[in-house]
Structure 1
Amino acid sequence: MKAIQITAYGDPLEGLELVDIAEPPPPEKGEVLIGVEFAPVNHNDLLLFGGNFPVHPPLPSLVGNEAVGIVLQVGAGVENIKVGDRVTPPLYSFTWRERMVIPAEDLFALPTEVDLQQLAMLRINPPTAALLLSEFVDMKPGDWVVQNCANSAVGRAVIAIAKGRGLRTVNLVRRQEQVAEVEVAGGDIVLVDENDATERVQAMIGDGAVRLALCGISGTATARLVSALSSGGSLVNYAQMSGDMSAPGDFRPLMRKSITMHNFYQNKPAFRPKVPQILREAVELIRTGKLMVPVSAIYPLASFKEAIIHTQKGGKVLLEVNGAR
């Protein structure tokens, strides 16, 4: 059976290799065997490869944080899913392999009419977006949330989930050509993330309350989000896409407006019980076309290095694993 294995943290093009491993054993009580069909290449995968992620398995280790697959066999006592169902494995199940045995608890059958590629991206970004919108501020219908990185998979999920909850979004993107894409995705206000963005936001929302800011970039972009917040608002950082771990800029608004700051990590124990219901909410958004992440390219498992290079340059990339064959 083919799988991707990491042997050294650092450069993923040097530390990862395609290997042959033993087939998994038959599923035991409460377990299922699945054949992995698609697995995304996520930025948190890249962080893991570099040794800069909370999940830090001893080496050598299999890798992969997300996937969709078909149930090939069920163990004793499994009643919530059956052979032939599509499911998405738990986070950090090391999904870049053809077949795997996973716990059946909390799994549910995904709808058959929904694009498998979209379902492969279900486990990380939609729950991140939903939790960002619910766990730090008691948002009310009509409130505004401002976010950078709005064209990302998390950003698109924030837009879709916020709209379903009656919230309005201010969306900052890096390039002018991304404005129309995010408007089509449902963003209420979409602006290029540049120095005058804060003033333009304030002029456009008038007396509206911007109670929550979501930062996936860090650096100077963080300071602009702080300036866009209303008094008493909260800033939540969930990623550092710029690679800049500092946050230069004028942070006097933190004091003047009583801004609070938080860091987010999805796999905290307090969040885990909430994820199954969030996944169902996200599946419905995908099914109805309200949430869709454009896929830039699909690579076979053996071409994982090309997939990683593509991801480093930008764009959502999937590996086609085809473990059900």
Structure 2
Amino acid sequence: MTQMLKAQYSERGPVPQAVIQAVPFERPVLQPGQALVAVLAAPINPSDVLMLTGQYGQLPPLPAVGGSEGVGRVVELGPDTQGPSMGQTVLLPVGIGTWATHVVAPAARLVPLPNEADPRQLAMLTVNPPTASLLLSDFADLQPGDWVIQNGANSGVGSYVVQLAKLRGLKTINLVRRESAVAGVLAQGGDVVLVDGEGLSERVKAATGGAAIKLGIDAVGGQATMRMAAALAESATIVNYGALSGEPCIVTPRELVFRDVTLKGFWLARWFRVTPQAEQFKLLGELAGLIAAGKLHTPIQAGYEVAQIQEAVAAAAAGERQGKILITPTHG
């Protein structure tokens, strides 16, 4: 077996790649109920980077191993332990610290996944696809043919919003912050792609023929929230799930009071905390099926070994990317 490594950090700081490093560890002795899993792929999400800088809403105690989601292959079960069979591809529990060659996990919490599916795509199952699905389903009564507007459309969540909306018969207006991102979102299936900025509501109206837009999905905050609100129909809802601008959401009294626009927030970690496990597994199973069938996917820019964690985090934190950065350990 190859050397076991984990990407660990003992402090937080403004330069995320500077606080994390790959450290070796010995093959663990499993206890009853535990499984040893060889990690196949684990993404670096924006929330993971914010945990390194200390800016995320929920921070693990230090020292910590990076990585909030991923998939692996079962290589050993503890004594008297029932669980997925050896060699089975499994979804790792949320927040277990997946930037490692191997992890020890409770066998009962491992979710079997299709062995024939691309593990790199399955590795992103836990965070972005359910976020996109719930944003589309839980905040507005949308019917086939309805329009949805989102910003951060070239992000991981944005990509899944486009694809799931199309599968559900919805149309998407997709806002990006640079002209170079337009082509990629169109290739993903976005119906309308616009560069966010001045005159947005007029440009949206022209692109949709004045359609009433009942749902806005906001990943940016600040003035972007206000521009989105102005493009929505009366009594519509904006749901915010991020603050890429680093600024609080701004919505004017005109939108809130006179046009009855509602602003809500969504945090997937809370959804996992309050939702029954059976309902969680049902949603994850549906999304895994779509990924295995090739109906859901996201662009991948590069994969890195655990030993390259600093380079990988720097690449993930960079502004100009054409896809996701993954940790993809090689197993001999």
TM over 0.5: yes
Shift of residue 249, structure 1, vs aligned partner: 6.9
Q: CA separation of 1:106/1:48 partners in 2, compared to 1, >3 Å: closer, same or farther?
A: same
Structure 2 unaligned residues grouped into runs of 5+: none
Give the alignment of 1:1-325 within 5 angstroms: 1-10=4-13, 11-26=15-30, 28-29=32-33, 31-75=34-78, 76=80, 78=82, 81-105=84-108, 107-206=110-209, 208-243=211-246, 245-247=247-249, 250=252, 252-268=254-270, 269-271=273-275, 273=277, 274-314=279-319, 315=321, 316-322=324-330, 324-325=331-332
| % identical equivalent positions | 39
CA distance in 2, matches of 1:265, 1:207: 31
C-alpha RMSD of matched pairs (Å): 2.0
Shift of residue 48, structure 1, vs aligned partner: 0.7
Shift of residue 212, structure 1, vs aligned partner: 1.1
Shift of residue 207, structure 1, vs aligned partner: 5.2
Q: Which AA in structure 1 matches 2:314?
A: I
Q: CA separation of 1:14/1:313 partners in 2, compared to 1, >3 Å: closer, same or farther?
A: closer
Residue deviations 1:127-149 (CA, integer Å, cap 9, x gap):
11111112222322222211001
CA distance in 1, matches of 2:147, 2:274: 26
Deviates more, 1:224-233 or 1:186-195: 186-195
Residue deviations 1:141-191 (CA, integer Å, cap 9, x gap):
222211001111101111122222222211112222322321221212221
Cα contact 2:229–2:251 (8 A) shared by 1: no
CA distance in 1, matches of 2:32, 2:57: 29
Cα contact 1:5–1:63 (8 A) shared by 2: yes
For the residue of structure 1 that corresponds to 2:268, the secondary structure is: coil
Shift of residue 24, structure 1, vs aligned partner: 2.8
CA distance in 2, matches of 1:78, 1:226: 51
Q: Which AA in structure 1 matches 2:50?
A: L
Residue deviations 1:186-235 (CA, integer Å, cap 9, x gap):
21222121212221212232353311111111122111111111111111
Cα contact 1:127–1:275 (8 A) shared by 2: no
CA distance in 2, matches of 1:100, 1:319: 14
Cα contact 1:27–1:101 (8 A) shared by 2: no
For the residue of structure 1 that corresponds to 2:111, the secondary structure is: coil
Shift of residue 26, structure 1, vs aligned partner: 1.8
CA distance in 1, matches of 2:275, 2:161: 17
Q: Which AA in structure 2 matches 1:78?
A: Q
Shift of residue 40, structure 1, vs aligned partner: 1.2
For the residue of structure 2 that corresponds to 1:296, the secondary structure is: strand
Shift of residue 124, structure 1, vs aligned partner: 0.7
CA distance in 1, matches of 2:35, 2:27: 14
The number of equivalent residue pairs is 321
CA distance in 2, matches of 1:57, 1:234: 32
Shift of residue 304, structure 1, vs aligned partner: 1.0
Q: Which AA in structure 1 matches 2:111?
A: F
CA distance in 1, matches of 2:70, 2:291: 16
Deviates more, 1:216-225 or 1:68-77: 68-77
TM-score (norm 2): 0.89
Q: CA separation of 1:16/1:308 partners in 2, compared to 1, >3 Å: closer, same or farther?
A: same
CA distance in 2, matches of 1:105, 1:171: 40
Residue deviations 1:97-122 (CA, integer Å, cap 9, x gap):
22112233454332233222111111
Cα contact 1:149–1:155 (8 A) shared by 2: yes
For the residue of structure 2 that corresponds to 1:52, the secondary structure is: coil
For the residue of structure 1 that corresponds to 2:263, the secondary structure is: strand
Structure 1 unaligned residues grouped into runs of 5+: none
For the residue of structure 1 that corresponds to 2:120, the secondary structure is: helix
